[in-house]
Structure 1
């Protein structure tokens, strides 16, 4: 098969050739924009789910909706670095300055926008680097959004932007990927500002995407987390998974035999990331010129699984300590979620607290989560299969 025509896009956060099965989430984004344009309160979507379900791609699609509406948009990503709070606020300031610079000159010269830009400058000066402010052409406002305390600065920043946003008929939207890893101070400040925006009719929205623990994490840092529309993102249905495989190939004049597509849908589990990997490998393995057969699919299962082992599973497995790997091996025996009491018995421990150090560390690393009280589950689909393969090997 001609590799230059390969339509599949394996890679974390890489937009697929066909975004299928996500109509509800995209409709939720359009609703936020429509309600905001009418001056009504809206609940921005917070997407959560396992890795590989396409949350980042969806978040980017929601941001594209806001960009198309002419909104001021900012994107940042939560991290687990030691100096996370300072780095996050610097990225937020840099993204806000960049977005403000994209405003057309007539907007930027109004009094409301001059005041807004002055506060943006003050916020960026407070977090550095200083060079960012010169590009806005205004002096930083004094005593606004420059205290160094996120709980004060974020709300003041948005408050000072509101008159300019309303004057232009647009909104400010902050898009946070890996939102569960955002430092508590910044996350709390953003949630509190969203709450205040809902109370006062401010055109401000916080969108997010992250792991299954996101609803609990947001409720933990602030009680106003109910202001959001939490949307669980799962695997695609068999029908949508077929479409995600077949539609891109059909656009290139290539078809799958029925047994081939059935096998690839089955092995992918309907997870978008896996679909792209197996689709890519099926294309690479097929001699062509216009059909992908069952034998091609079988070859893709072998090579695709090897790609996933190396690119997705191995790096996560390597992040675990020997004690943590011991717990993960025990979890892998269950092939789904694990009961903590079963793990205690399986590992020869006396009580659940004996596993708390390894469990808490794995949760912090984003490798497992607690879907319910007394339960544990991997955040990456098919991680249990990988661990069993390693153990058997």
Structure 2
């Protein structure tokens, strides 16, 4: 096939050519924007699910909705590295300054409400150490608030001072956090607290998030009332939607799949959007015919795509694990899906579940596994068990 017309977009967070099977999430996001414009309360979603299900793509799509409505928005990403976590407030401040520039640039003149909002925003950014970024407007940061150094108090003052300007223009303030489970505790606690205050006071402030299956538990651990968030579990596509995700982009380029080829690719992808894009990309690249992808093409593509996934997705995660953690993961890989901790204890020759606690907790902190329920463990990456079974014993 001609690579100039390859419609697939393999890569983390890249929007696929056909965003199928997510209509309900997109509609719910637009409802938040529309209700905010009408001055009514709304609750933004917090997406959670396995890696590769398209949570980041959904978060970006909802961010685009808010941007189109003229909202003040900022995107940040949680990081596991301690050095990166210390810079979260700076990244938040820099993003807010950039957003304020866009917002102010759309206005012919600044009202008193917007001036006060921008003063506090500027003060917040200076206090956060966001050096090298300025609003470049006739705004005096010394007159603003949000500069105490206390993340919770500063963020609350910032949102409080921005609200009148938002209401004046019928817009909202959205903070979009990817990998929210890895956000540093101080910033996460502050965002949850401010969202709680916003709900109580009908402030047009919305915290959106996306992360691993442990997100609801993580947020509740930081703040008990985080259970009031609108958590949305994102899973694999249905068979019908997965078929459309493969076939529709190709059809747009005049290429069709033989039924057997499409069935096989849907099967091995498991309906996970990330895998659909990788397998579809390889099927396009390796197809021998000018306008048809047949079963032989699909089988060759599966072998090549598996090698690509091994190198780009699984290998780095496997190498992050210690020898003891790899041993536990190998034991988990013997199961199809979830593993019973009691079975793992027996399988590894241990005496009691607590013998696995340190290793288990280390893997959870690294985002490699999670506990879907009491006494259970599961990989956060689909098909990780298959990859591990392909690895030789060291």
Q: Fold match, TM over 0.5?
A: yes
The 1-side partners of 2:294 and 2:286 are apart by 10
The 2-side partners of 1:123 and 1:310 are apart by 42
Shift of 1:130: 3.1
Once the two structures are superposed, residues 151-190 of structure 1 have per-residue CA deviations (whole angstroms, 9 ceiling, x without a partner) of 1111111001011111111000000000000011111111
TM-score, normalised to structure 2's length?
Answer: 0.97
The list of structure 1 runs, each at least 4 consecutive aligned residues, that deviate by more than 4 angstroms after superposition, is none
Shift of 1:108: 5.5
The 2-side partners of 1:195 and 1:108 are apart by 32
Partner of 1:333: 334
Cα distance change on mapping 1:65 and 1:134 into 2, 3 Å: closer
CA RMSD of aligned residues (A): 1.3
Shift of 1:144: 1.5
Shift of 1:392: 7.3
Once the two structures are superposed, residues 260-292 of structure 1 have per-residue CA deviations (whole angstroms, 9 ceiling, x without a partner) of 000000000000000000000000110221100
* Equivalent residue runs for 1:146-295 within 5 Å: 146-295=147-296
Partner of 2:141: 140
Partner of 1:385: 386
Once the two structures are superposed, residues 96-142 of structure 1 have per-residue CA deviations (whole angstroms, 9 ceiling, x without a partner) of 00010012353662111111111011111111133313534411145
Deviates more, 1:107-116 or 1:11-20: 107-116
The 2-side partners of 1:53 and 1:108 are apart by 43
Deviates more, 1:134-143 or 1:149-158: 134-143
TM-score, normalised to structure 1's length?
Answer: 0.97
1:23 aligns with 2:23: yes
Deviates more, 1:140-149 or 1:274-283: 140-149
> Given that residues 30 and 65 in structure 2 are in contact (C-alpha distance below 8 angstroms), is that contact kept between their aligned partners in structure 1?
yes
The 1-side partners of 2:379 and 2:131 are apart by 42
* Residue segments in structure 2 that go unaligned for 5+ positions in a row: none
Count of equivalent residues: 393
The 1-side partners of 2:130 and 2:390 are apart by 48
Cα distance change on mapping 1:10 and 1:54 into 2, 3 Å: same
SS of the counterpart of 1:206?
Answer: strand
Shift of 1:227: 3.3
The 2-side partners of 1:297 and 1:371 are apart by 33
* Equivalent residue runs for 1:348-367 within 5 Å: 348-367=349-368
SS of the counterpart of 1:28?
Answer: helix
Partner of 1:76: 76
* Residue segments in structure 1 that go unaligned for 5+ positions in a row: none
Partner of 1:307: 308
The 2-side partners of 1:312 and 1:108 are apart by 49
